[in-house]
Amino acid sequence: MKQQNGKTKNMAILLSFLLFIGGLGIANVLLPEKDFSATENRVLASFPKFSLSALLHDKWTQKFEAYVPDQFPLRDFWVGMKASFQTLLGQRENHNVYLGKDDFLLMKYETMDQKLQAGSFSAIETFAQAQNIPVYFALIPDSSYVYGDLLPPVSLCGDEGELFAAAQKAFSAAHYIDLSAPFRTAGQTQKDLYYRTDHHWTTQGAYLGYQMLSAAMGNTADDLEAFDRQVLSARFYGTLRARSGSWWVSPDQIVGYAPKTSATVEIYENNELVQTTDGFYAADRLTTADQYSVFLDGNHSKVVIRSGNSGKKLLLFKDSFAHSLIPFLSTQYSEIHMLDLRYYKTDFEKYIQDYGFDDILILYSANNFSTDRNLPFLNLKSGG
């Protein structure tokens, strides 16, 4: 009887093992390849073509090792299981995302490299010195700074405050606008300045930014009631949820505040106008995984917003945080040129002369700024 039990047990072990490795192995081979992972927002590796020369000279085996996990069945399921396992061990961080209190996800900030920081600051200062119109520079604090109390205890998250303090002292020609203090103060009571599942500020956060920027730039901010509120998405799962694999957190909402007078939005790629739309929202983006792109259709190298309000023109160097701010800013400028330094590089001095701007604003989130290496391109000279 005992021996019989042993046989059954061993048979069960053998079968479950073989079924597991064989079944998933066969599924891995037979399932059709996917080109793109929406949750990860990247192109997946495909089967590397085999040849003897690829094997000997072109690291075929390494490409194969990259292909297998990328095309593994139920990829998201496994990533979620790993995240749950990590949580079960009592850990509160996965892929540099903290699982904060109240299911609030916060991006880890790594203290900015001092050399990079000095280089970026001096690029902005040099750029400002060369202009005869005001150059404003503002850093948007991230949720880990504003909602530091939501971070897990002793989290080892870097302190963006060091970056803000350094920025306070770094400029004379450029006007540095501090957003960190007002956001921290507002954050005490307002818990909706940032998405719980995404690294961006919410439209409410952007409105606060708009108020602060307006005051510093000599503009008048409209009341929030002056804009039409609409829920753009009731189920928004952002980048931090995707990155951390914490599928269990509940969705955010994307709210839009549209000004009474709308605007036309011109989108350029490689300096060519590819699309002109009325209004600020790209509704078709709401059916993709990257719903935040509903604002101005996501990242493009150059976007021009024409509103017909007042007569001032703004040149804006920015990251994606600016996209939800634009509807507010559009009430103060007739024309906004929004450039992404990562993709748009030109002789900006000439660009400024060509279009005749009144204000220049450089606006980045602190976390993006801390790793961005493109600011020196502000001082690019043609032919030089």
Binding site for other proteins (CB under 8 A): 5-14, 16-18, 20-22, 24-25, 28-29, 55-56, 61, 64-66, 68-70, 72, 75, 78-79, 81-83, 85, 89-93, 153-156, 245
Per 3-state DSSP, the chain is made up of helix, strand and coil in percentages (nearest 5) of 45, 20, 35
CA torsion sign for 227, 228, 232, 235 is: positive
- CA dist list (Å): 210 to 153, 191, 325, 329: 32, 18, 7, 7
Which C-beta is closer to other proteins: that of 61 or that of 129?
61
Least distance (Å) from other proteins to the CB of residue 77? 8
User: Tokens 């590397």 identify what position?
Assistant: 48
Least distance (Å) from other proteins to the CB of residue 81? 4
Least distance (Å) from other proteins to the CB of residue 91? 5
What is the distance between the alpha carbons of residues 119 and 144, in angstroms, rounded to a whole number? 25
Q: What is the CA radius of gyration of the chain?
A: 25
Which C-beta is closer to other proteins: that of 58 or that of 228?
58
At a CB cut-off of 8 Å and minimum separation 6, what does 204 contact? Answer: 190, 192, 193, 255
Which C-beta is closer to other proteins: that of 52 or that of 270?
52
Least distance (Å) from other proteins to the CB of residue 58? 11
Which C-beta is closer to other proteins: that of 86 or that of 291?
86
Least distance (Å) from other proteins to the CB of residue 75? 6
Least distance (Å) from other proteins to the CB of residue 136? 35
DSSP 205-260: HHHHHHHHHHHHHT--PPPGGGEEEEEEEEEE--HHHHHHT-TTSPPEEEEEEEES
Asked whether the beta carbons of 99 and 152 are under 8 A apart, the reply is yes
Which C-beta is closer to other proteins: that of 45 or that of 166?
45
